[in-house]
Amino acid sequence: MLNKLKLWKNGPHSSNLRERMVQIKGQQVPSHVAIIMDGNGRWAKKRALPRIAGHHEGMKVVRKITKLASEMGIDVLTLYAFSTENWKRPKKEVDYLLKLPEEFLGTFLPELVKENVRVTMMGYEDKLPSHTLRAIQKAMDETKDNTGLILNFALNYGSRAEIVDAVKKVLNDCKNGILDENELTEETFSSYLMSANIKDPDLLIRTSGEIRLSNFMLWQLAYSEFWFTEVLWPDFEEQHFMEAIEAYQNRQRRFGGV
């Protein structure tokens, strides 16, 4: 069964899926894929489990999708792990969510190093607990020389705040003579964003049937392709990710042209 597919590097998978993978890699794959990982709580509720059980299960999906994205030759995988609005959730759930990076990276980091994956983060660090920051920093330090997939965690991230802060920095630089306001371009403005060192996403994936951006990379997603699925994140399998990539490959990206 497809939904019983093993991790690509850790077990056998069907010849059909291998062929599908070859076909995908034979065409242009998106350079940057961003994912809003939604539906962990609903997945747990359907099983009469606490919400944190859904988040724990979702962490396993992050692992296998990261490995698959790396094998596909994708350059950047950005995962919306915790938003600036998520602080409104119950404290127990927030505390657990902020322990997940430590748990995830504590077990998966050796594989990331081995598979040449580089860990990065964008978001506001000031409110994050020290144990979360330590885990992220350790992963970034140990993978900083890797040259493969960039695994970019959006952690305590909110796009509106990011844009406002970028505007403040632009105004400050103009005031101090560092930047000429008449020379401000979209490219220059992008360099003031948290994503300055990575290209804008080519493809956005959102799971769980919700069709909105939820304050995620509003500037950067202006010309991205969107792919939505009813599948809850803990149920998101390799074939779903491949389906999203195939949908992307079948679209014509005009960027406002003909």
Helix (H, G, I), strand (E, B) or coil at 102: helix
Residue 184 token pair: 């401000």
Which listed residue (38, 200, 202, 235) is catalytic? Answer: 38
Annotated active-site residue 38? The verdict is yes
Tell me how many degrees the CA angle 125-128-132 measures, rounded to the nearest 5: 105
Which listed residue (3, 16, 75, 86) is catalytic? Answer: 86
Q: Could you please report the per-residue DSSP string of 210-257?
A: --S-TTSSTTTTTT-EEEE-SS-GGG--HHHHHHHHHHHHTS---TT-
Q: How far apart are CA 130 and CA 115, in angstroms?
A: 27
Helix (H) or strand (E) holding 172: helix 159-175
Q: How far apart are the first and last CA of the chain?
A: 42
As annotated, the active-site residues are 38, 86
